[in-house]
C-alpha cells in the first residue's frame, strides 16, 4: 500500500544534541511538508519542498533544517538551536498541481531528556 512512513514513532533527545526525523513516501508525490503540532495550537509549517533539491522555509523554520535529495525522502533535523523542540512532528505530501489535499504520516513525538 502507498503511504507516508515516519520513523521513529517516539524519539528522545538530550539537550544540545541534533536529531533527525525520517519521512519516506512511496506515493510518487512531488511536494513534501513538515509540520509541528503543539497542544492547542494546531499545526504550524516548518519547511516544505515542491521538488527535489529545493525547499522553502515555513512559518517556524528557526532551529530546523531539511534536505530533499530524493523524491521519496524529506528528513527533518532538529538542531540544538531549537530551544523548545518537544512536540509532535507530522510529515505530509501531495501530488503535483493545485487544489490537492495533503496526505499525512502518523507522526513522530520528540521529547527532551
Binding piece for other proteins, criterion CB under 8 A, among 12-20, 60-68, 77-85, 104-112: 104-112
- Which pairs count as long-range contacts for 61-64, CB under 8 Å and 24+ apart, including other chains? 64/34
* Helix residue ranges, H only, 27-102: none
Looking at the Cβ atoms of 35 and 78, the one nearer to other proteins is 35
Query: Cβ(13)–Cβ(98) under 8 Å?
Result: no
Looking at the Cβ atoms of 72 and 79, the one nearer to other proteins is 72
Nearest 5°: phi and psi at 14?
A: -85, 150
Binding piece for other proteins, criterion CB under 8 A, among 14-22, 60-68, 79-87, 93-101: 93-101
Site string (55-84) toward other proteins, x via CB under 8 A: ------------------------------
**DSSP label at residue 62:** T
The cell for 27 is 506515493
Footprint on this chain of other proteins (rule: CB under 8 A) = 4, 6, 31, 35, 40-45, 48, 90, 92, 94, 98-107, 109
Amino acid at each position: 500500500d502507498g503511504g507516508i512512513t515516519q520513523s521513529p514513532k517516539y524519539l528522545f533527545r538530550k539537550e544540545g544534541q541534533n536529531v533527525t526525523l525520517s519521512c519516506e513516501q512511496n506515493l510518487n508525490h512531488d511536494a513534501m511538508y513538515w509540520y509541528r503540532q503543539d497542544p492547542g495550537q494546531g499545526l504550524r509549517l516548518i519547511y516544505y519542498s515542491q521538488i527535489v533539491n529545493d525547499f522553502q522555509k515555513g512559518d517556524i523554520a528557526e532551529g530546523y533544517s531539511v534536505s530533499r535529495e530524493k523524491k521519496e525522502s524529506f528528513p527533518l533535523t532538529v538542531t540544538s538551536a531549537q530551544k523548545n523542540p518537544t512536540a509532535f512532528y507530522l510529515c505530509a505530501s501531495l501530488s503535483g498541481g493545485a487544489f490537492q489535499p495533503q496526505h499525512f504520516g502518523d507522526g513522530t513525538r520528540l521529547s527532551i531528556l
